[in-house]
Amino acid sequence: MSKTNSKTTGYIVISQINPAMILTTTGEFHARGQCGPGGYCAKVYKTEAGARKSHPGRTIKPYSG
């Protein structure tokens, strides 16, 4: 049996200064509303451990596209 939630497709990094902002593929934090078609793409990590290793001390949350 898998330990992961079947609806979770990855993990995203949340800004410490403004929790409404997420890390994007450009390496900058942008508001969630700016992510999507015609906007920025969220940087999604496959595993929680990978996200924590890349950005220690930041908030990591599950993401389901």
Structure pTM?
A: 0.77
Tens place of pLDDT per residue across the chain (65 aa) = 455 555 668 999 999 999 999 999 999 999 988 988 888 999 999 999 999 999 998 999 998 77
Tell whether 4 is covered by a domain.
no
Tell whether 51 is covered by a domain.
yes
Res 1: pLDDT: 42
Tell whether 48 is covered by a domain.
yes
3-class DSSP assignment, residue 51: helix
Res 36: pLDDT: 85
Res 8: pLDDT: 63
Tell whether 2 is covered by a domain.
no
Tell whether 1 is covered by a domain.
no
Whole-angstrom CA distances from 63 to 2, 32, 37 are 17, 12, 17
**Domain total of the chain:** 1
Tell whether 17 is covered by a domain.
yes
Note down the domain range covering 46. 10-63
Q: Which residues pair with 14 in a beta bridge?
A: 22, 59
Q: Fill in the DSSP letter of residue 65.
A: -
